Amino acid sequence: MKPETHAFGILICGSANGVAITANKHQGIRAAICWGDELARLARSHNNANVLCIPARFVSVPTATEMVDVFIATPFEGGRHENRVKKIACM
């Protein structure tokens, strides 16, 4: 499966570190830890993240809901970010 065909994912745990590290071991996954909507927007627009990792100990339900909405609605900018994102892929 090509990385472009992966659907979005959402992972939630206490700090989000463990799930992000584990998810990023898999080809086509670009998991980002976010604790606010601005970070969710940047994860998508600059890094083409496709998995949102939410640290449940540090994020309220309303903030998490807003982050998910922003994450899904934000397109990848490409351009100057494209080459860097291509280097992220697992081989």
Domain with 32 in it: what CATH number?
3.40.1400.10
Count of domains forming the chain:
1
> Residue 1: pLDDT above 50?
no
Cα–Cα dist 76/60, whole Å: 26
The domain of 20 spans 3-88
Q: Which whole number is the average pLDDT over 22-48?
A: 94
Other Cβ atoms within 10 Å of 69 Cβ, number: 12
Q: Cα 87 from chain centroid?
A: 16
Residue 70, pLDDT score: 96
Active site residues: 13, 46
pTM for this structure? 0.86
What is the pLDDT confidence band of residue 90, given thresholds at 50, 70 and 90?
low
Average pLDDT, the chain: 89
Task: Please tell me the distance from the alpha carbon of residue 59 to that of residue 61, in angstroms, as a whole number.
Answer: 7
Percentage above 90 pLDDT, the chain: 71
Is the pLDDT confidence value at 9 over 90? yes
Query: How would you classify residue 56: left for phi > 0, otherwise alpha for psi between -120 and 50, otherwise beta?
Result: alpha
